[in-house]
Chain A
Amino acid sequence: MIRNALAVLTVVAGLVALWYFAAMPMNIHTALTEAERAGAVIDPPSAAERRDLGGVGLLLRNPEHALATFGQERPRLPVPHQVVEELWKTTVGVRVTSKRSLVNHGWVTLSATLLGFGIGTLAGIALAVGIVHNRAMDMSVMPWAIASQTIPILAIAPMIIVVLNSVGLQGLIPKAMISAYLSFFPVVVGMVAGLRSPDTSQIDLMHTYSASPSQTFWKLRLPASLPFLFASLKVGVAASLIGAIVGELPTGAVEGLGARLLAGSYYGQTIQIWSALFGAAILAAALVAIVGLVERLMLGRMGMAR
């Protein structure tokens, strides 16, 4: 356990160190310009010459300014402590109701994510049940389900929003629909595989009992599919979050993690972008962990935990 923790911490420390090193050449141009304005002598002295030089070269010629790359207001690449500081400020440091609160923005996105995940999961399960029990559906639905996932979500998201807006739906619902659009697919694929997972002898056994199709479904196919369903739900919940964020981009939404990303990019607020990205990543990790916990509890109770 301790050895594992040590290994994980070593990797994390390595990544953080790499991040700091990468920030130096990326931010050195603006750092030098600021230093020059403050009266320092820079090599080479002309801004035009510096523009043509690579970041690493500049860094080697002006090593005394390296640390200035870690404290800029709008760096090309914010460093970890800046992101953590921003995350802290916008979660713990402000009221939850504030427009700057990442908790507030996160909740807006999360509510669309959960609604979309719910719709997507139910739709996915319903489609899978149809596909497994009806040959016509098997041949007609599956190709469309696959085709739906080949269309870039960025292309279809604005269309969904415009169409739903024309019938009077705004705000949460369109975002949830985009979210559902992304999350139903893994559920369909996993659930179809799961419902078909019982082997021939298990199906034959039901046959020798003269079991009805619904008895076979509830007593055999559905329980057999649960491990597959949970694997899909983990993928689906992460996809849902992406869908909700993407759904916030084309509407010019003012709330939500997507809106936060968009606003950050409009105003060059790189630290804000990165903290929103990390906020989204933390949220996704938490959602996947919750699904994993439910999986452990449920399969454990069913005697199927590994």
Chain B
Amino acid sequence: MLSQDEIDGFAEEGGVSPAAPAREVAISARDVSLVFQTGDGPVQALKDVTLEIGKGEFVSFIGPSGCGKTTFLRAVAALEHPTSGQLLVNGMTPDAARQARAYGYVFQAAGLYPWRTIAKNVSLPLEIMGFSKEEQASRVARVLEMVELTGFEKKFPWQLSGGMQQRASIARALAFDADILLMDEPFGALDEIVRDRLNEQLLALWRRTGKTIGFVTHSIPEAVFLSTKIVVMSPRPGRITDVIDSPLPPERPLEIRDSPEFIEVAHRVREGLRAGHLDE
């Protein structure tokens, strides 16, 4: 995606360095609970979730199915509404934050519109938000370059591989310059090799842009490799069992996964997941 020099250059030019301590709060949750009313009675999807995410952090949510990790991300995006507790995004309610275009959301399925070319897909949010034609064109060019899809503007989604489609959907979420990126298992449907490459690219992108990223995943190595903070969750009711601040350095080549530090963090995540299960 970018050479190391370029990345370092960006950091120096004022990009938020991931190593710097996060001062401002991007997302804060206090005693957030969320109950779904289903045909089989109420289901407690989230129970007393308290969490603070600083600006520029890369936070992964990990846990088994039904632990509420996706529900929490959707609540941040105002796609679900907490039944109690307080949830603030950039100091606003999730609904107000959405109106203020505080975040871009990337779904598990790329969800590109098949009748739109890649460029038109990326400009979809810009059209809706009323950007001028020239602004749309320049932004589309810029974000497509960021995800290395320059030259694919006129292709239709079905002409691209799964990984490329997911990159296009990330570009779409970046197009309107939200400073928070919410990603719900974006690489879950891709094979290991493609996934590794996309993870590297995502890290580079994060360092380059200094965005706050909330990332839902099933994969322990993925969570440890990407995150500055790992939130371990467990199901029934959905709750946080552990929050791990990663000691890994901001520079993370793929080989870091063989380092003792990496293995130690992964071990702690696994312990956290197991503890969540023992509670049942």
Tell me the A residues contacting B by CB distance below 8 Å: 199, 201-202, 204-211, 215, 219-220, 223-224, 226, 302-304
Contact = CB atoms under 8 A, between A and B. Distances in A.
A199 B113 CA distance: 11
B114 A204 contact: no
B77 A208 contact: yes
B128 A211 contact: yes
Contacts of A208: 77-79, 98, 103-105
A210 to B, nearest CB: 6
A204 B113 CA distance: 13
Contact of A302 (B78, B107, B115): B115
Contacts of B101: 210
B127 A219 contact: yes
A226 B114 CA distance: 12
Contact of A304 (B77, B78, B115): B115
Contacts of A206: 128
Interface in B96-149: 98-99, 101, 103-105, 107-109, 111, 113-117, 124-125, 127-129
Instruction: Specify which of A201, A206, A215, A220 lies most central, judged by the most chain B CB atoms within 10 Å of its CB.
Output: A201
B153 to A, nearest CB: 13
A225 to B, nearest CB: 11
Contacts of A201: 107-109, 111
B156 interface: yes
A197 to B, nearest CB: 11
Nearest to B110: A201
Contact of B114 (A207, A210, A304): A304
Nearest to A215: B128
B113 A220 contact: yes
A210 B105 contact: no
B113 A223 contact: yes
A13 to B, nearest CB: 40
Contacts of B107: 201, 204-205
A303 to B, nearest CB: 4
B128 A209 contact: yes
A71 B126 CA distance: 72
B113 A210 contact: no
Contacts of A209: 124-125, 128-129
Nearest to B117: A303
Contacts of B108: 201
Given A199-B109, A208-B98, A226-B115, 13 more contacts: A201-B108, A201-B109, A204-B107, A206-B128, A207-B78, A208-B77, A209-B128, A210-B98, A210-B101, A215-B128, A224-B113, A224-B115, A303-B114
Interface of B: 74, 77-79, 98-99, 101, 103-105, 107-109, 111, 113-117, 124-125, 127-129, 156, 158
A205 B98 CA distance: 12
Contacts of B77: 204, 208
Nearest to B104: A208
B105 A303 contact: no
Contacts of B79: 204, 207-208
Nearest to A303: B156
B124 A219 contact: yes
A223 B120 CA distance: 14
A209 B131 CA distance: 13
A204 B105 contact: yes
B128 A202 contact: no
Closest 5 CB pairs of A and B: A303-B156, A302-B115, A201-B107, A208-B105, A209-B128
Given A208-B79, A208-B98, A210-B98, A202 B113 contact: yes
A246 B107 CA distance: 52
17 contacts: A199-B109, A201-B111, A204-B105, A205-B105, A205-B107, A207-B98, A208-B77, A208-B104, A208-B105, A209-B125, A209-B129, A210-B128, A215-B128, A223-B113, A303-B156, A304-B114, A304-B115
A297 B44 CA distance: 50
Contact of A202 (B99, B111, B127): B111
Contacts of B124: 209, 219
A205 B129 contact: no
A155 B180 CA distance: 63
A202 B105 CA distance: 11
A211 B124 CA distance: 10
Contacts of A226: 115
A207 to B, nearest CB: 6
A215 B127 CA distance: 10
Contacts of B116: 303
Contacts of A205: 105, 107, 111
Contacts of A304: 114-115
Nearest to B172: A205
A202 B125 CA distance: 12
A110 B124 CA distance: 42
A226 to B, nearest CB: 8
A306 B219 CA distance: 36
Contacts of A211: 128
Nearest to B79: A204
Contacts of B127: 219
Contact of A303 (B74, B98, B115): B115
A226 B109 CA distance: 22
A90 to B, nearest CB: 45
A211 B114 CA distance: 19
